[in-house]
Structure 1
Amino acid sequence: MVTSVGLLVCDFDETITQRDSTCKVAELAYKKRAQQGKCSPSDDCFLDCPPPWSYFVEKYFKERKEHIKHWGETHPETSLEDHYKLLGSLREVEIASMERVEKYNCLSGIHRNELFEQGRRIEKRDYATEVLKIYSTKHNNNQDNNLYILSTNWSRDMLLGSLKDSVRIEKEHILSNNLVFNETDCTAGILKKEVLTGLDKLAIFNKLNIPEGTISVYIGDSDTDLPCMLYANIGIIMGNNVTLTKYCNKFGIEIIDGLVKNIDKINLNSKRKQHKLFRVQGWKEILDSKLLD
């Protein structure tokens, strides 16, 4: 009989946090340049100053939308496998966006400690850290039980700063993209591109150890998390992402609203992939279910 969760993997942005926080890295870099008198909001045309961050955000979403539209016109999407191919194809959009940011040297000159402190200021969902702390504290002395953060965010140091004070987690268990640092521990404006798509997340999740006699749980909020949620013994959707719900409906993936009274609807001993996901509106529901106790 399965009695415990031996592997807990969580997305970060909009799962643990109230909103996406990748922009917080840029906010820090832009603010620091302005404070040093290097660039101000009126310096957009200067060669040494990158365009406003809104330029990169708008261009990214425009290219992503166009890519999905073009892909749909040339690739029929009638199965979950077809959808996974779309997710994998988005890698080129992510790389193009990151390389554009690198070209303009947007994220250079940030000290590692500044990223950590920026992480402390990120607003998190109610009860998120309480739930993660319960799990990490219970399994702190048992190396067979693991908590990981798996994210497409751009700074492991910022994510660590967001969680370190309240959750027992080491930097090695934060799996994400990351900034490259120079010899003075400041960012060089270059990104380590390691977690770009939902398929990257799945490949990483697949390598994590699930101790014998335990189950795995993945908590996420978006389409990027779908492969991992379906791969885990229990996949939990945080909130009401419209795109994710659309794809679940399209591919016959049942969404079970609520966790406390519905935990017995999945055979926890089954190692086969599930086509059922739980949906919660907040971390309090996970806390009350005692799933991670």
Structure 2
Amino acid sequence: MGGMDVEGGIARKLWHKFRSESVFVNYTPFFVCLAAGNLNADAFLHYLSQDVHLLNAFANAYKLAEECADDEEDKKAIRKLRKHVKDKLKSHDSRVREWGFELPEESTSTNATAKYTDFLLATATGRIEGEKVPGKIATPFEKTKVAAYTLGAIAPCMRLFAFINKEIQALLDPNDSSHIYKKWIDHYCSQNFEAYAFRIEELLDTLSISLTGEELDVIEKLYHQSMRLEVDFFSSQPIIQEAVVPLSRMLDPAAGGQLTIFCDFDLTCTAFDSSAILAELAIITMQKAEPDGPETQLAQMSLADLRSTWDALSTQYTEEFEQCVESITPTETVKSFSYEGLCEALQQFADFEKKANSRVVQSGVLKGLNQEDIKRAGQSLILQDGCKWFFNKIMKVENPTAAVHILSYCWCGDLIRSAFSSGDLKALNVHSNELACEESITTGEITKKLESPMEKLQAFNNILNSRGNDCQHLTVYIGGSVGDLLCLLEADIGIVMGSSPSLRRLGEQFGVSFVPLFSGLVVKQREVVEVGSSTWKKLSGTLYTVSSWDEIHAFILGS
């Protein structure tokens, strides 16, 4: 199949590649309120009225795709898909009434709906940017290509719908009849709808078989564009009620509202621990310094020593870390959240971290590194997907109410600063240890500032105290290791990135609850109706888990 491996087909590959976009749809006020069962009925009816415009566009796009297909089997398959949409349009009124809603009179398309429908029809008539295929004089093959392009523009919408509704259905009590949108959700989670989404993907795979790598690239662009238009469509649905997303909108800048985001660095922003990066840098520096001639053997010995010292330090740290966590974890889970107990346990953890750092200094492995090399290593550091994008967005001038602080055990603040040295990220505040230097070369000493959970918490509190108390503040802490536990719990919202088993086990033994962020937001949204408002409270004992930076971005900033 052109330039793409056929295993799983192009439709599956593209869904996996762009699936992260689904997070931005899932976390819209529309879907969070809908999942909570308290989406305003007018907002839902407005959505349904716009959905009619989309369904008509799908039906028209299928009609044009059928005319373009040159194989009778393909034509028949497209005809069936079109019939499904036409039947849905016919039964739309009765089905909506069955769900308990009355459809509004004919409506005009909103800007986001019009952009989506225009895109579908432009694709189906061959008017694709950089890929114009004149309908009347096109060869049969060129027309077949347009049919494939059209299916590429339609497929993500159906897969996205099936996926998001399954995510929501998993949060609902099957016996709860009070959820007014349950029938609607169930419809999109049905085997019939799943089969419909699958048939579209199957046909896209079939129509793509004879395409070149370049043409498959066009399908990829169309698929992605369709996902983005879907995000815009749901983000722009008017919501006339208080919603817990996006978080930044809950703060009123005019009333002095401020959002302060705190974030760990190693394994939260990065995929690797920064000590491993500094170890690699030390070894490269040593290799470069090897002299030629008779002393080479001696230089190789010292390089071998350096490698084995790093390995020994790393192994000892890992073993003692496990032993320490084991020794401070109570054998029995406490009956309710015990912050005091956790603080006491983590005092011992502080001693372990300080001893480990002292061993590194005594070993001399951090001696002789060039500051410029460290900065270059930081600049080439690959951060987790979506991390830089999120920080870039939040540091933009349009978010003057947000402040960002990185709190890290990293031995070298320069490494962090250079990792965030591009664009608006220079304004990030970095709080970490530093490598002592003489004339730009490290001495092997660490200027120790943050070595324990308590010191992290102290830095966290110092920053908050320096802001004053005369305005509405909201704090978010993003972290992923045991050293972050106290800050995670002290913040209004603690978000756990990744899945550190030691953090989870220790937290659970002291009564901490770990809740997936999306389901936590749905519960919060229910509170808005039940209590009249939703407030975030520090030391609640609940932490929210995420698997990507896209979730954090969608929750805090929206799309």
Per the shorter chain, which TM-score range? 0.7 to 0.9
- Is 1:87–2:350 an aligned residue pair? no
Native 8 Å contact 1:134 1:292 kept in 2? no
- Is 1:276–2:537 an aligned residue pair? no
Q: Which runs of 5+ in 1 are unaligned?
A: none
User: With CA pairs under 8 Å and 6+ residues apart, which has the higher RCO, 1 or 2?
Assistant: 1
| Structure 1 residue 120 displacement after superposition | 1.6
Q: Which amino acid in 1 is paired with 2:460?
A: F
- Is 1:133–2:389 an aligned residue pair? no
| Structure 1 residue 137 displacement after superposition | 1.4
Between the aligned partners of 1:121 and 1:201, the Cα distance in structure 2 is 27
| Structure-2 change in CA distance of 1:195 and 1:241 (3 Å) | same
- Is 1:124–2:383 an aligned residue pair? yes
Q: Which amino acid in 1 is paired with 2:415?
A: M
Structure with larger Rg: 2
| Structure-2 change in CA distance of 1:228 and 1:43 (3 Å) | same
The counterpart of 1:164, out of the listed 407, 413, 421, is 421
Trace 1:231-246 onto structure 2 (pairs within 5 A): 231-246=490-505
| Structure 1 residue 40 displacement after superposition | 5.4
Q: Flag the structure with higher strand content.
A: 1
Trace 1:112-261 onto structure 2 (pairs within 5 A): 112-138=371-397, 142=400, 145-170=402-427, 173-182=429-438, 184-209=439-464, 210=467, 212-259=471-518
| Structure 1 residue 52 displacement after superposition | 3.2
Native 8 Å contact 2:367 2:442 kept in 1? yes
Between the aligned partners of 2:357 and 2:300, the Cα distance in structure 1 is 22
Between the aligned partners of 1:260 and 1:138, the Cα distance in structure 2 is 31
Q: Secondary structure of 2:358's match?
A: helix
Q: Which amino acid in 2 is paired with 1:154?
A: W
Deviations 1:154-175 (A, max 9, x none): 110011111111542347x211
| Structure-2 change in CA distance of 1:93 and 1:248 (3 Å) | closer
| Structure-2 change in CA distance of 1:188 and 1:178 (3 Å) | same
Mean Cα deviation higher: 199-208 or 272-281: 272-281
Native 8 Å contact 1:137 1:168 kept in 2? no
Native 8 Å contact 1:129 1:166 kept in 2? no
- Is 1:285–2:540 an aligned residue pair? no
Between the aligned partners of 2:267 and 2:516, the Cα distance in structure 1 is 18
Between the aligned partners of 2:544 and 2:300, the Cα distance in structure 1 is 45
Between the aligned partners of 1:114 and 1:150, the Cα distance in structure 2 is 23
Native 8 Å contact 1:238 1:282 kept in 2? yes
2:275 match:
22
Q: Normalized against structure 2, the TM-score is what?
A: 0.47
Q: Which amino acid in 2 is paired with 1:150?
A: L
Q: Which amino acid in 1 is paired with 2:413?
A: R
| Structure 1 residue 83 displacement after superposition | 2.4
Between the aligned partners of 1:15 and 1:258, the Cα distance in structure 2 is 16
The counterpart of 1:103, out of the listed 362, 385, 391, is 362
1:59 match:
316
| Structure 1 residue 25 displacement after superposition | 1.2
| Structure 1 residue 251 displacement after superposition | 2.8
Q: Normalized against structure 1, the TM-score is what?
A: 0.85
| Structure 1 residue 245 displacement after superposition | 2.1
| Structure-2 change in CA distance of 1:42 and 1:129 (3 Å) | same
| Structure 1 residue 272 displacement after superposition | 4.5
Between the aligned partners of 1:203 and 1:105, the Cα distance in structure 2 is 29
Q: Secondary structure of 1:109's match?
A: strand
Q: Which amino acid in 2 is paired with 1:274?
A: S
Between the aligned partners of 1:196 and 1:77, the Cα distance in structure 2 is 27
Q: Secondary structure of 1:52's match?
A: helix
Between the aligned partners of 1:59 and 1:155, the Cα distance in structure 2 is 21
Native 8 Å contact 1:238 1:280 kept in 2? yes
Native 8 Å contact 1:136 1:168 kept in 2? yes
Deviations 1:114-140 (A, max 9, x none): 111111222211110110111111367
| Structure-2 change in CA distance of 1:128 and 1:60 (3 Å) | same
Mean Cα deviation higher: 273-282 or 253-262: 253-262
Q: Which amino acid in 2 is paired with 1:66?
A: Q
Q: Which amino acid in 2 is paired with 1:163?
A: F
Q: Flag the structure with higher helix content.
A: 2
Between the aligned partners of 2:541 and 2:261, the Cα distance in structure 1 is 19
Deviations 1:42-61 (A, max 9, x none): 44686xx5743111111122
* Aligned residue-pair number: 286
Q: Which amino acid in 1 is paired with 2:365?
A: C
Native 8 Å contact 2:413 2:432 kept in 1? yes
| Structure-2 change in CA distance of 1:292 and 1:217 (3 Å) | farther
% identical equivalent positions: 24
| Structure-2 change in CA distance of 1:93 and 1:32 (3 Å) | same
Q: Which amino acid in 2 is paired with 1:12?
A: F
2:265 match:
12
Deviations 1:237-269 (A, max 9, x none): 112222222233333323221348717728764
| Structure 1 residue 11 displacement after superposition | 0.5
Between the aligned partners of 1:268 and 1:207, the Cα distance in structure 2 is 27
| Structure 1 residue 176 displacement after superposition | 0.8
| Structure-2 change in CA distance of 1:5 and 1:131 (3 Å) | farther
| Structure-2 change in CA distance of 1:268 and 1:54 (3 Å) | farther
